[in-house]
Amino acid sequence: MTGSSYLELLRLTAPEILVALTGFLVLVLDLTFLRRAALAFRFRTAIVVACIGCVLALLVLERGSAQGTLPAGMLVVNSLTQLIQMALLALAILVLLWAGGARFTTHVGEYCALILFATTAMMLLVSTQNLLVIFITIEFLSLSLYILTGFDKDSAQSAEAALKYFLFGGMSAGILLFGMSLLYGISGSIALQAIAAAVNASPGDPMLTLAMVMLLVGFGFKIAAAPFHMWAPEVYQGAPTASAALVASSSKVASFFALFLVFYLGLMPAAGSAAWGHSSAGWAPLIAILAVASMLWGNLAAIAQTSVRRVLAYSAIGHAGYMLIALVTHSPESLTALVYYVFTYALATVGAFGVLAALEEEKVDSIADFAGLGKRAPGLSFCLLIFLLSLAGIPPLAGFAGKFYVFVAALEIPDHFGLLWLVLLALVMSVVSFYYYLKILKQAYVSEPKPGAAVIRVPVATRVALWTAAALVVILGCLPDMLLNRIAAAVAGAFQ
């Protein structure tokens, strides 16, 4: 095994290091200089510093930092991973901004630092093709997220959510590790490329099937796909808004990408097919089952919810289903589609949570509380309209372009209409999802505000951030080419 210089490693991980260092900096700042300051001031400072750090990391990535691969795929930095890391950083910035109004904790430095550490973990997760590193970074991410979820010490819901998340997460991490060890046993390597070669030799190995199932369970938990989604509603509802936003957006991006890589790069020969009438054994039909379960369970359960956050949670499960279709398709086109979809989904979700964050003081949680929001906070409601309609998949918003591209990719594979059944199911479920998103908007725009409800004031920074996010959703929907071409080029470059 040739050694690589540490300098190489540092060069390649410069953005991650930057973010981690920012995290430490925030921690130190808050624990030393800002001990006596007012809570609001501490939050503002911490966030500003954190944002600066993220922006710097973004700039480093943008200016085309080093690309390269470490042996055994431990670190792979190419244009695709850089693109995803940039998205993760952007999402992190937004999440930090939403955290600005939070008053539920006095541990400001820890909170922001944890957000940054989670981001670091995610950035590392997307730039590796090595099983062990994947596991480590997933655990790193998960631990940060568990703590972030339970950060509101005064709320029983938060504690319950964190505990549930931790228990489920721990269990699924164990299963994931077991699956990974099985894969090592089959292939004798922890690098995805090498595993692929070994799987190619013996694709029908029952051990392999077991490994695949376990991997799916582990990852399924991370992406909140049914039936491993139990934690999601509690976490989305109980966690503080910024934490929930992080869970809902960035961690989805990173986890999906990692999942795709593992199966596409590592287990391709054992893919099988989920085509209607021509299915063959492999992980594709398994993922198809997950996709169907997620779409059905997520969308149908969302109809009955009365809490907006739980609606978002179940809709997240549904969206995981749509994204899994891209995985069932397993082609470079579908990876492009998946990345685009998850970007736009994360953007819309983080926006929706931003609206919720702005309403945090009003103790708005149930759908009924949204009554008359259109009159009380017209700008906020309009942003909410954009985000929810994007999630529903209404053109010309970004969510539609994402869905469209996933469906096109699913049907463009050579045997053409094998996956038509999945696409049709997805379309039907989209109709269902439209209903519950519209319910929320109906409350906001059609219903009258409760008597005595006052106009809501939204701080400027939040407003600017929300409008920017909304504008981005609209632009990405009207001109999807900009991002799509970039992603496609990156994918082509990564997998040639």
Partner 1 sequence: MLAWTIYLSFLGAVVVTFTPGKNPTIARVTALLTALAGLGIAIVAIMHADRSGQVITIVRTPWISRLGIEYHLAADGISLILVLLTGIAAVAGILFSWNVELRVKDFFALYLVLIGAVYGVFLSFDLFLLFVFYEIAIIPKYFLIAIWGSTRREYAAMKLVLYSFAGSALVLAGMIAAYCVAGQRSVSFEVLAHFPFPVHFQMWAFPMVFVGFAVLAGMWPFHTWAPTGHAAAPTAASMLLAGVVMKLGAYGCLRVAMMLFPRGLDPWGFRVLGFGSWQQVFAGLALIGIIYGATIALVQKDLKFVVGYSSVSHMGFVLLGLMTLNQIGLAGAVYQMFSHGIIAGLLFAVVGRMVYDRTHTRDLQELSRIPLGRLIPFAAVTFVLASMASIGLPGFSGFVAELQVLIGSWRSFPWLACIAGVGILIGIAFTWRALQATFLGEADTTAAPQQAMPPITLPERLGACLLLASTIVLGLYPRLLMDLILPSLNGPLFEQLRRGAWR
Structure token pair of residue 84: 């995803």
Closer of 181 and 366 to partner 1 (Cβ) = 366
CA 123, 125, 126 angle in degrees (round to 5)?
Answer: 70
Minimal distance, residue 454 CB to partner 1, in Å = 18
Give residue for tokens 């930090």: 96
Residues forming contacts to partner 1 in the complex (CB under 8 A) are 389, 394-396, 400-401, 404-405, 407-408, 411-412, 416-417, 420, 423-424, 427-428, 430-431, 434-435, 438, 442, 445-446, 479-481, 484-485, 488
Minimal distance, residue 475 CB to partner 1, in Å = 13
Give the dihedral sign, CA 443/246/126/85: positive
Classify residue 393 as left (phi > 0), alpha (psi -120 to 50) or beta. left
Minimal distance, residue 77 CB to partner 1, in Å = 25
Closer of 295 and 401 to partner 1 (Cβ) = 401
User: Do residues 260 and 331 touch, judged by C-beta distance below 8 A?
Assistant: no
Minimal distance, residue 446 CB to partner 1, in Å = 5
Minimal distance, residue 264 CB to partner 1, in Å = 20
Instruction: Determine the Cα–Cα distance for residues 117 and 146; give it in Å rounded to an integer.
Output: 12
First to last CA, the chain: 25
Minimal distance, residue 408 CB to partner 1, in Å = 6
Kindly report the length of the chain: 496
Minimal distance, residue 303 CB to partner 1, in Å = 12
Give residue for tokens 């973004």: 58
Residue 191: phi and psi, rounded to 5, are: -95, 135
Instruction: Determine the Cα–Cα distance for residues 384 and 361; give it in Å rounded to an integer.
Output: 17
Instruction: Determine the Cα–Cα distance for residues 479 and 398; give it in Å rounded to an integer.
Output: 9
Structure token pair of residue 115: 């957000």
Closer of 229 and 403 to partner 1 (Cβ) = 403
Instruction: Give 136-141 contacts, CB < 8 A, sequence gap 24+.
Output: 138/173, 138/176, 138/222, 138/255, 138/258, 139/173, 141/251, 141/254
Instruction: Determine the Cα–Cα distance for residues 46 and 399; give it in Å rounded to an integer.
Output: 32
Structure token pair of residue 121: 């973990």
Closer of 142 and 336 to partner 1 (Cβ) = 336
Would you list the DSSP string of 69-83? E-GGGS-EE-HHHHH
Closer of 312 and 484 to partner 1 (Cβ) = 484
Closer of 362 and 412 to partner 1 (Cβ) = 412
User: Do residues 150 and 162 touch, judged by C-beta distance below 8 A?
Assistant: yes
Closer of 253 and 423 to partner 1 (Cβ) = 423
Minimal distance, residue 82 CB to partner 1, in Å = 20
Minimal distance, residue 448 CB to partner 1, in Å = 10
Minimal distance, residue 389 CB to partner 1, in Å = 7
Please name the helix (run of DSSP H) or strand (run of DSSP E) that holds residue 68, with its range, or none. strand 68-69
Closer of 12 and 401 to partner 1 (Cβ) = 401
Minimal distance, residue 268 CB to partner 1, in Å = 22
Minimal distance, residue 22 CB to partner 1, in Å = 36
User: Do residues 433 and 302 touch, judged by C-beta distance below 8 A?
Assistant: yes
Give residue for tokens 């001031």: 41
Closer of 140 and 404 to partner 1 (Cβ) = 404
Would you list the DSSP string of 162-187? HHHHHHHHHHHHHHHHHHHHHHHHHH
Closer of 257 and 405 to partner 1 (Cβ) = 405
Closer of 428 and 471 to partner 1 (Cβ) = 428
Instruction: Determine the Cα–Cα distance for residues 183 and 206; give it in Å rounded to an integer.
Output: 11
Q: Which residues of 230-240 are buried (b: 16+ CB within 10 A; e: fewer)?
A: ebbbbbbbbbb
Structure token pair of residue 357: 């964050």
Closer of 250 and 430 to partner 1 (Cβ) = 430
Closer of 10 and 428 to partner 1 (Cβ) = 428
Classify residue 372 as left (phi > 0), alpha (psi -120 to 50) or beta. left
Minimal distance, residue 478 CB to partner 1, in Å = 9
**349 contacts: CB under 8 Å, gap ≥ 6:** 245, 248, 249, 252, 312, 316, 387, 391
